[in-house]
Amino acid sequence: MTTPGIRAPGGRPRVFIVDDHGLFRSGVRSELGDRVDVVGEAEDVEPAIARIAESLPDVVLLDVHLPGGGGQDVVTALKATHPQVRFLALSASDAPEDVIAVIRAGARGYVTKTISGTDLVDAVRRVAAGDAVFSPRLAGFVLDAFAAIAPAGADRPAVDPELDQLTAREREVLRLIARGYTYKEIARELYISAKTVESHVSSVLRKLQLSTRHQLTRWATERRLA
C-alpha cells in the first residue's frame, strides 16, 4: 500500500499510540519517524481516553488487546464526544471476533503489527483522510463474518437486507484484498477506478458498523466459544 499523495489536510497527520508494550510503542514511534507527528501515547484504556481527549490527534493507533479492556472501549468512549478523532486498529495476535468488535465500535481500519513502516505511514494517512484501511486479514474476517449471516429465510425475515449482506462486487474487492492485492491492483483487475475501490471498502465498513443484525454478534460469540 504505497500509494502516495493521500494526506491529511494540514500536512503531517498527528498520531497517538495506544499499546500496553512500551517497547512496541517506541518501535512504532521510530518507524513512523518524522513522516507523522506523534503527539502522545498511552498504555491502557483509562489514560488513553483522558489523553486523547486532551491532545485531539488525527489518528489513534490502537492495540486491540489492552489490560484494562479491549481497544473497542477506547473507541466507544470517545466516538460520541470527539467524532473527528479516527482510529486504526493494530494487533499482533488477532482473534477475529476482537478485531471485528473494534471495527464495529468505529475504527476505520485494521493492520497487523508486522506491517512495514512505509505501509503503516500510508495507512495512517488514509485513515486521516477519512478512508478505510483493510489488511488482507481483516478482509478475510469480514468475508467470514458476512458468510455466517445466513440469507434471510421465511423463518428469519431480514431486518435490513441492504446492511446485512455484501454485494457481489464488495465481496470481489474483499477477496482481492485478502489475496494481497493493493487498491491500485484491484482497480486494474476489476477495470474500475481506485476511487471506486475505495468507496466499496468504505461501504463494507459502513455495513459492518451499522448492521444491527444479531447474527454478527452471534458469529463473534460462537467464534469465541469454538
Partner 1 sequence: MMGDVWRRTGPGSRWRAARGQGGAWGWPTADDGAPSPQPWPGHRHFPQHGPGRWMRGPKTSGPLRRNPGDRMVGGVASGVAARLGFDVTVVRIVFVVATLASGFGAAAYVVAWLLVPAAGESGNIASKALSDRRGLALAAGLVPLLILILLIASALGAGWLGSTLGWPLTITAAGLVLIWRNAPEDEQAIMRRLAEPLLGPTGSRRRSRIVLGALTGTVLLVSGLLALLYGRPHGAVLRPLAGVALVVAGIVVLLGPWWLRIARDLMVERQARARAEERADMAARIHDSVLQTLALIQRRADNPQQVVQLARAQERELRSWLFDGRAPGSLDGQVTTLAAGVRLIQQEVEAQHGVSVEAVTVGDCELDDDLAALLAAAREATVNAVKWSGAPVVSLFAEVEPAEVSLFVRDRGRGFDPAAVPADRRGLAESVHARMARRGGSATVRTVQGEGTEVSLTMPRAAGVRQPHRS
Residues that bind partner 1 (CB under 8 A): 112, 114, 136-137, 139-140, 143-144, 147-150, 172, 175-176, 178-181, 189-190, 215, 218-219, 222-223, 226
Q: Which is nearer to partner 1, 76 or 215 (CB)?
A: 215
Enter the C-alpha cell of residue 142. 469480514
Q: Which is nearer to partner 1, 16 or 134 (CB)?
A: 134
Gap between the Cα atoms of 136 and 187, Å rounded: 16
Q: Which is nearer to partner 1, 33 or 180 (CB)?
A: 180
Q: Which is nearer to partner 1, 59 or 165 (CB)?
A: 165
Q: Which is nearer to partner 1, 1 or 132 (CB)?
A: 1
* Closest distance of CB 112 from partner 1, Å: 8
DSSP string for 159-224: S-HHHHS--HHHHHHHHHHHTT--HHHHHHHHT--HHHHHHHHHHHHHHHHH---HHHHHHHHHHH
* Closest distance of CB 189 from partner 1, Å: 5
* Closest distance of CB 218 from partner 1, Å: 7
Enter the C-alpha cell of residue 95. 482473534
* Closest distance of CB 78 from partner 1, Å: 30
* Closest distance of CB 45 from partner 1, Å: 29
Gap between the Cα atoms of 71 and 44, Å rounded: 9
Name the residue type at position 118.
T
Enter the C-alpha cell of residue 177. 484484498
Gap between the Cα atoms of 78 and 29, Å rounded: 23
